[in-house]
Structure 1
Amino acid sequence: MSTQVFDKHRVAVKRTRENLGNSRHLPGDFYTSTDVEALERTHIFGQEWLCVGRQEEFSKPGDYRTLDIAGEPIIICRSKSDTMRAFYNICRHRGTQVVTGSGNRNNFICPYHAWTYDLDGQLRGAPYTEEIEGFCRSDFGLKALQIDSWGGFIFVNFDPDCQSLLNSLGSFTDVFAPYRPEDCRMGFRIRVEYDSNWKAVAENFVDVYHLATLHAESFGTNQPLESYEFTTYPWGYTGRFKGLSPMTLDGIPRFGLMPWLSGDYLEYGYSAHLFPNMGFYARQDNIHWVSQWPIDVNRSVAELHIMFPEEFHERSDFKEKLADYEQCFNVVIEEDMAMIAALQKGFASKGFEPGPLSRFEKAVHHVIQYNLDRIYGPSQ
């Protein structure tokens, strides 16, 4: 598979494909080309398992949330049979969205012509269709997506022939099982829009090279670069570092540590990435994660979340102390915002020439290789 961008930069891509010590970043066209973006929507977001939420967000039958994933509107809901379901948020009549936002409903009623679907996606009402010859409601249910979960995280896949979620996750489940994410509950979600390609945002979140500079005033000093131990996997990467980094501005956990952690897990934290778009950060007191989604080739959105052991939520001062974490998140977001926008402006400049990767950009290098593999194949 090839594009004009790939053909134009074939030599540069070959250099990017080299081992970390000899590699260069990608040319800017890979972050500004609509042709490349179209391939990513098809071969990455259209075929991979994507994390879209947590089980506790859908605790009751009828709980639902709508999302836009790389241009595809979807619904996540818990059915009356207590089963998690995922559908295209597209009415089978004219294609309008049948519901917006989030909340709790007994059914989904299209606002255009009142076609009505139950929580299993079956069409239950369609005014005046009894006049249509051969019309059968069972032929016009909402189109379903693959859906599965691990550790309380909910994943969807647009590919009906995809591999199982557990096969896709691989050893990710073993690495992070000691943190018992299934026994944690979400504290908050922050949605941020960036004036940049989604890959630039994803690479920023795995780039530890910039922590000591851009984030020196927030959390960068809590993660000494020299302590990082990088490991790459087919599913992504981990960066293990020594020390506490709970995402509070003073570096002090507000609720103590996870009661089930022991040994090295009390001394080390993890920064990780699960392909294609999930930054995953396991710390001694919390797990926080961020998902990056394309809006268009020059704009993207990230959703940042944090969760804690369920017992922490039961404390009377939980909301008060949780605000300290949200404050830190907002400071870090502000620190990143202008820099990520500057990346996109640089990518579009004819003066941009890709530079070499630092040894602290091992995760960035690995993420770039994955993206190239998915859209062009590993031989390119």
Structure 2
Amino acid sequence: MNYPRPVPDPAADAPEEHAALASTVEEIDAALLGGTRRYTARDLAARADISLDFVQTFWSTLGLPHPDPDDDYFSENDADAIGRAASLVRDHGLDLRTVLTVTRALGHTSDRLALWQVEALVEDMSSRYELDDTTARLLVLDRLADLAPVLEAQLVHSYRRQLAAIAGRYAAEFGDLGRPGDDEPGALPLARAVGFADMVSFTRRTAGLGSTDLSAFVQRFEAEARDVVTAAGGRVVKTIGDAVLFVADTPQTGALVALGLADALGRELDVSSAQAAGGLAEGARGVTPVRVGFVWGRVLSRFGDVFGPSVNLAARLTDIAEPSTVLVDQGTAAVLASDARFVCEEQPVRELQGLGTVTPVRLRATPG
């Protein structure tokens, strides 16, 4: 089989292979880090006119290994990043705790993003060239410096689009500054529909799957869930293996998202989808229904997540929902009652752990 460039051979003579690998890592370092590692933490502190503690705290918050203060560990790009962090305090007036929170968000997100993308590249190399896992990883390592600028440009574009989307939502939601507020003292700040969709029998369906089939199965679930949520006007907060947490800005949008998830994720996996995912084992094929619960209430948005009693209630409603159905609470049902697109049916009273007695309401789409 022909490769665009030579593939590292794991069976090659070990000393030569290790030397070649070390050389490759040095080249990647120079390409990604803006040159060689030639600065110590003390150098960075002196260059930015900040304390050594600031440099070390920034680096720890970014989630990266903590070097000795006198090790030549940092590159030109690292020095620039430290300088920008210091400028957020010095020139923009941000509190140091805020800068560290922003840095922690970057570290947490970029760590997961980098791993996610590299694993996707490994899977691509493995399947496209019929390579074992080790050889595929070595091939990705060999090509990383070439791929990085394209991935970086896409990251910056996506990030700016997401910031613009947030600005647009804020303008639409809070633009009328003259209207009387309806917030109660001490209430959580954001009114949101929040819900969960949890895959039924995930453990049974994935038992015995190999890495390729398991990856395809989880990717299919996450991709379809995201498509349904965004198409209906909601946003995915996070996915947790066999579950997805979503939010929406209105109760009606939340209802459309919830019903869409219950419907779309219970359909039969067609042949073309299975082939596109690389084929699925028999146990992973067929209907993969979800239980859905959602609540209209007030939440706190922090750390890329949402918190509050309505989040907990939505999770508990999801736990007791039947497959391919949506449950809401009575308050949410009352808000939706005037919308002809929805039908609400009270269910038997249930005792929910940590929440007490609740009357669940099943949400349906109006027939026809």
Establish whether TM, by shorter chain, passes 0.5: no
Q: Give the TM-score, by structure 1 length.
A: 0.23
| Higher helix residue share | 2
Which structure has more relative contact order (CA 8 Å, sep 6+)? It is 1
Bigger CA radius of gyration: 2
| Higher strand residue share | 1
